[in-house]
Amino acid sequence: MNHQNIVLVMGCAIVLAGCKPASDALERQEETTGEEAPAKAAIPEDLDLVILNGRVMDPETKLDAVRNVGVKDGKIVAVTDEAIEGTETIDASGHVVAPGFIDLHVHGQDPYAVKLLLRDGVTTPLEIEAGAWPVEDYYDERKGKSQANYGASVAHVWARLAAMDKVDPKGLGLYSGAINASAHDGAKWSKDRSSPEQLEQIMANVEQGLRQGGLGIGFPIGYYTAVGSPEVDTVAGLAKRYNTFITTHVRYLSNIPPSGYLGLEELLAVATANEVPLLVHHVPSNCLGQTPQCLDLIDKARSAGFKVAAEFYPYTFGSSIIGADYLGPGFQERTGMDYQDITYVKTGEKMTKALLAKYRKQDPGGMMIMHHIKEPDMLAAFSRPGVFVGSDGVPFEDDKGGIPAWDAPYGVGKGHPRGAGTHAKVLRLVREKSVVPLMEAIAKLSYLQAQFLEDTVPDMKHRGRLKPGAIADITIFDPATVTDNAGSDEGKNSLPSTGIPYVIVNGTIVVKDSKVLKGVYPGQPIRNAVQN
């Protein structure tokens, strides 16, 4: 069916004069099924943008051929081997023309972080793991001011913090601010079970977020392992009632019982029992040496017909808040790390017993980097069919611990390099290590994420594809040179990726000749319908 669509458009180009207007023709194509006579599609003559002579790769139809791509009114209207013209022209010779990358796991939602993500080929960076709350504020703050598409799940964690610690996350930084503020109240959100009254308030907060159009429920209970089963069940039940999904950072970052594997079993059980889709973030980060077994379990659930997805980032080190539950006493035995495997981002210090205790008390929301994943486990997730990429990019910090401004120089941001280099690194590893074929890698960077969301977020049916009718989120890269440049050394954490000269968001060029254009805000909200 999808192959047919492309052939139809190309076929129509040959008989251009007799064709119907494209929008009409595209609708007719979608209605075409099975043996019916194919509808003919026209390529409009007044295209806004044409991308010529690129290697078009579409992970849905598996088209992999040199084609010209025509864009009009924010949509792809032609993928053809005929000559086409438009108001703007990109020569993509020698480059791959792919669907814009979709990242469901982006904590750095500020303009500097988004600028780096665009350089890394990401057109849709969503905050799905931790989420946002209040959801309305998240969307209002970005309306008309975002260079990339934006969206967030409902943050169970902030709904819990607001209910249990009486901290209003509004106006506070997603990480340090809210978490450090809650520390004055004993950080009940992370340490306590909820009382029945608190649980009622938490769920009212989460429900408000769903009614404000939040995408599913972000449920990172690995940061509050004291949470009781009644709360876990209630979250899954609410997701079911709203016909939406749960995403999770599972309980326990541990090789020994209670292990990450056990944490995965818990979430699989509640998700499948309630028949709600589940996204398991960064599997190697929680499952550690049991990563293949965790992936097997997820595969079994998928084979049984449940909608369960798994994600990884292409690094052997992670980053989060230094006050994280899993860095409590005994972390060495659980994770295989020692103090020197943990770095405090603000000062660059490697931890000792005393330093770790000091920063966990003084700045529990401050960022750390930890080396806890073995490369074979990361590669096991990378090569597993159906497992997709999520950067888990966290906000970069400047020298003063603030977030760099949009026009701050590349490289000044301190933090985990995954916020800048994840997607180009995946493409580099495909070139250097042949981890998976390039088409599969592109699916892991775009199409699989759209597929996970599209049942509950209809807009995503039209993203993550490079075919007529799809929304024109497009990433153009040179497969021979594309590379990450961000690394762990000082001054290199936030260096932009290279070899991705053009990025197009909703039909508008936002990266041109490898430069992010200033003041161009084509980003659209990815949001469910708001209910009153």
Binding site for Zn ion (CB under 5 A): 249
CB 285 to Zn ion: min, Å: 7
Nearer to Zn ion, 67 or 249 (CB): 249
CA R_g for the chain: 23
Nearer to Zn ion, 115 or 249 (CB): 249
CB 450 to Zn ion: min, Å: 21
Nearer to Zn ion, 95 or 281 (CB): 281
Nearer to Zn ion, 218 or 411 (CB): 218
Residue nearest to Zn ion (CB): 249
For the beta carbon of residue 454, count every other beta carbon within 10 angstroms: 15
Let me know: does 218 contact 129? Beta carbons within 8 Å. Answer: yes
Nearer to Zn ion, 61 or 320 (CB): 320
For the beta carbon of residue 463, count every other beta carbon within 10 angstroms: 26
Nearer to Zn ion, 250 or 427 (CB): 250
CB 310 to Zn ion: min, Å: 13
Nearer to Zn ion, 50 or 221 (CB): 221
CB 110 to Zn ion: min, Å: 18
Query: CA 417, CA 223: separation in Å to the nearest integer?
Result: 22
Q: CA torsion sign, 184 to 187 to 189 to 195?
A: negative
Dihedral of the CA atoms 418, 514, 45, 468 (nearest 10)?
-20
Nearer to Zn ion, 119 or 249 (CB): 249
225: which DSSP letter? T
In DSSP terms, which residues pair with 68 in a beta bridge? 80
Q: What is the SS3 assignment for 275-333?
A: CCCEEECCHHHHHHHHHHHHHHHHHHHHHCCCCEEEEECCCCEEEEECCCHHHCCCHHH
Residue 190 makes CB contacts below 8 A (sequence gap 6+) with 182, 223, 224, 226, 323, 325
CB 154 to Zn ion: min, Å: 16
CB 392 to Zn ion: min, Å: 6
CB 96 to Zn ion: min, Å: 30
Nearer to Zn ion, 61 or 248 (CB): 248
CB 443 to Zn ion: min, Å: 23
From residue 84, alpha-carbon distances to 14, 47, 51, 56 in Å are: 12, 8, 9, 15
Query: CA 252, CA 259: separation in Å to the nearest integer?
Result: 6
* SS3 label, residue 200: helix
CB 74 to Zn ion: min, Å: 33
Query: CA 267, CA 278: separation in Å to the nearest integer?
Result: 8
Buried residues in 74-92 as b, exposed as e (16+ CB within 10 A)? bbbbbbbebebebeeebeb
Let me know: does 454 contact 460? Beta carbons within 8 Å. Answer: yes
* SS3 label, residue 482: coil
Residue 97: alpha-carbon gap to chain centroid: 20
CB 367 to Zn ion: min, Å: 13
Nearer to Zn ion, 67 or 281 (CB): 281
Nearer to Zn ion, 47 or 104 (CB): 104
* SS3 label, residue 234: helix
CB 107 to Zn ion: min, Å: 9
